[in-house]
């Protein structure tokens, strides 16, 4: 899942009343937002991979349990046949 965001270009020319630090801070904040967005997207991808891995392990475990139950039932039915004879 990607979240798109349009970047706004900022005019770095300064007037007499504007401060140089204010404009530079704005550029740094925009870059920080982009970095935070990328980090969040990477975290989401890692969480999705971990969740998919967990679901796979859970499904495999359930299949294993079903096989064990079937084997136990098969052995039990064979023992019942032996006891009946």
Q: How many helices (H) and strands (E) would you count in the chain?
A: 1, 0
pTM over 0.85: no
Q: Where are the domains of the chain?
A: 19-85
Question: Distance (Å, rounded) from C-alpha 25 to C-alpha 31?
Answer: 10
Residues of the chain with pLDDT under 50: 1-2, 10-11, 14
6-25 residue pLDDT tens: 555 544 554 555 555 555 55
């Amino acid at each position: 899942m990607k979240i798109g965001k349009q970047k706004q270009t900022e005019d770095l020319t300064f007037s007499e009343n504007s401060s140089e630090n204010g404009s530079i801070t704005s550029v740094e904040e925009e870059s920080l937002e982009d970095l935070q967005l990328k980090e969040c997207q990477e975290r989401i991808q890692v969480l999705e991979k971990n969740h998919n891995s967990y679901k796979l392990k859970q499904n495999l475990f359930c299949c294993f349990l079903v096989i064990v139950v079937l084997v136990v039932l098969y052995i039990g039915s064979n023992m019942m046949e032996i006891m009946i004879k």
